[in-house]
Structure 1
Amino acid sequence: MDWTTFFEPITLSIQISIIASLIVFALSVVIAWIMAKVRFFGKSIVETLLLLPLVLPPTVIGFILLVWLGRRSWIGKLYESLFGQTLVFTWEAAIIAATVVAFPLAYRTMRAGFESIDSELENSARAFGASESQVFLYISVPLAFRSLTAGYILGFCRGLGEFGATLMVAGNIPGKTQTIPTAIYVATDGGSMRMAWAWVGSMLVMSFLMLLLANRFTKN
């Protein structure tokens, strides 16, 4: 077995998932708190849009991202003017794909954590003069810490296993955008079952350990 070939997709998948899950965490914490605590017109529509990637086929998400990030889009043109290369079929595109598909799962977990907080605690802090940002940072976040951590872990796992959207928007370039799922697909298609099983085993082990950790945080 070529160990360099074996570890490249694993290393790349972990790097992409870490960055994507950090982005997802930063977005989800704020958005989940707003959706859990603030009432506004059209909230159900916003909620539906936020969860839409959870039910859409990954290829549909990949197609949408391909259109939005392609050379003819304003995002693609801006990226090319700044960095001198197209955004699609790059490492950055793989991060974007992982972020989009991982967000809904992390968001739902974190929102549930914020909704479980006794609102009287937050209202008491406001009554004593705490601002909304202070309530958020010193009351809501600490009380929802377990759910926030579980949301981050689940987002990481979802990004780690992303296949369809990543393949469409980032491709399958060895050493650049080839993640574990795409590497398994190519190995299976090419008859390299031993290599495919090795990647499948590594994915099973990592996912099992991460989910076991997430379960510990979601237990009461």
Structure 2
Amino acid sequence: MTPPSDEIVFYTNPMSRGRIARWMLEEVGRPYRTVVLDFGTTMKAAAYLAINPMGKVPAVTWRGVTVTECAAVCAWLADAFPEAGLAPAFDDPLRGPYLRWMFFAAGPVEAAVTAKSLNLLAPADKAGMAGYGSFEQVVDTLESAVSGEEPWILGERFSAADVYVGSQIGWGLQFGSLPDRPAFRAYAERIFAREAAVRARAIDDALIAAANVAS
């Protein structure tokens, strides 16, 4: 039997949430191959639907395993390559806060921001039925995660949670879907100055520029 490929393959589009996964891959520091897909065509083609039936990016494959959903990709890569130091071990007390904030951003933050952008927030008398409660609660809680004197969500230790949470905050500030609070702005400036974040942006921005020239 042929062993699964040891090559990391990254399926993305530079104008998508794949930018988060790209940053995470750059933080991991392992070589990877990028497959750029187009919305509505190759992203919905049978070959890719066999990898992700949702027909969305990003997706990452390695050694016969496929992972989709940005938070899952970040968490999985951090565990798959522990030498990068991007996730606390299971017996580390920081493991709990790490998972808490990673999936708070993937759950309540994502849901609340999307609902607000679509004018579909739960009415106050139904807030208890929504996983995010209220938009204001979500924003205040997110702010508390990045408001301390220490630079990262886990204090002095940068982790995959910063990649994912930071990306959500960065996009929220860019598109106005989160309020422009000083704590958010200061945190975004710190995380996006990281060398891996700068590299990832440069790669994806170059792909966008090349596509624009080609069109």
| TM category, shorter | under 0.3
Q: Which has the larger radius of gyration?
A: 1
State the TM-score, normalized to the length of structure 2: 0.27
State the TM-score, normalized to the length of structure 1: 0.26
Larger fraction in strand? 2
Larger fraction in helix? 1
Which one has more relative contact order, counting CA pairs under 8 Å at least 6 apart? 1
